[in-house]
Structure 1
């Protein structure tokens, strides 16, 4: 079980997962241009090690920034500065009323670019965006809308959730009614809904009870307007790859059930990118599922592939 907490000293206390420390990263908050205060995590290289570049990790649906700990620890030891900001409406978002009910996906995208610019602070370092699931959708949207001079030099999309089924025209009135009523099935049905979601996107070797029990996921359910914002974001980015020319790596599990809903295969999705430097990487284990970094049998290979690819592409763009 995951049980990290935020202490007054500004650090997540080390949590234990099967007897091993899981989280021990430095945390803080940053202020967005609209005045909102947003929590974030950072993992920095050892003292004296020269920075190779900056990695901005974008959480997926119902994820907290702290859940990038494995990637953060792995990359920081190799010289990367890794930062991850919570998405508004989930994680440890300080604005209680909007937890599970946030609906401005454009602001999620703007936050990614603002947060990245703050971490770069004018330094001549390459920046990469890494997204997981919904985070891949937001990372792609942010990369395509980043101001000149601040666009990421590389993009890693893990299990991109472009398969989110956008409601057909005849169902949208029902969605609108549900949004007005802010009906929240997950809160009504309790952990069962989250367990169903976990079974869809995780294999049975994923960290147990991650979705249901982690206090870093303070929102235990989502309104329809929140989920509709996710659908809108996925629908918006479907044509954005044609505008993206930076190197891109798409990672996915061959047993990812979400791809059963996809209108495009992973290869068809990759083919839409304008970039001449693009790679599709299916996890070598045929049992690999959606959440590659939380699966204890799949994560090490995923981490090694991600760091090796960044080493190659962050060097070439300097």
Structure 2
């Protein structure tokens, strides 16, 4: 069944994955209005809520298998990430209503930042049957396990900080990440990576390696500033042998994307990236993913965006 077939069926419901805790619940009061606005499409709306991220992903997969007309993710990059695992490559029209902390994928897609305006835009696309193709990246481990992602794969200092923060029980909120950064800065050292970019091998020592389908992560840090969601390529950014002082000086430039002008930063483009290093767990779309080594492949048009 094509996306046009799904959208043309008046009885095909729209599945809405709702995450009330996204963005630390700051948009919780808006969610009933968002669901009401999505209901203006005059077709059944099936709200999916789950207590765990695994259950959310399973509910999205079940909805796609059942033949829903579209899937809409209401939340942040993590919520989008879970829904994308079900719709990627399936031809199911997909909408995004940003209601999280970072919303990097939505920003790359030029989705309205206001959740109500974004819901109205999804409804307009549903009514007109309008979608556009968007690239995704597919990562695969040595055992064949895989994940789709829309934004950036982090496999360096940023991933190490996230891993430490996730192990910490105290404090809660942003301060936990601040403390994790301080702890990992004290241990900062370049690591040895092997990169194979479309089969061409590069051996590097680096503190940061990012593979971008999109431009940004972490709420607007433009780590891969020239990434394009429609070019069928991955952008790779390697931050070399930074010491602590230099890394702290360069970090603010991530929000403007000008860090790539630093002589210790190197950028590449490839359709397939093989990434090897010891002791690194990757993060994609802000979510914990696979341990290295992994292979990442750009998949053109894997997502049909309601737009």
TM-score range, shorter-chain basis? 0.3 to 0.5
Bigger radius of gyration, 1 or 2? 2
Bigger relative contact order, structure 1 or 2 (CA pairs below 8 A, ≥6 apart): 2
Q: Please state which structure has a larger fraction of its residues in helix.
A: 1
Q: Please state which structure has a larger fraction of its residues in strand.
A: 2
Question: TM-score w.r.t. structure 1 length?
Answer: 0.33
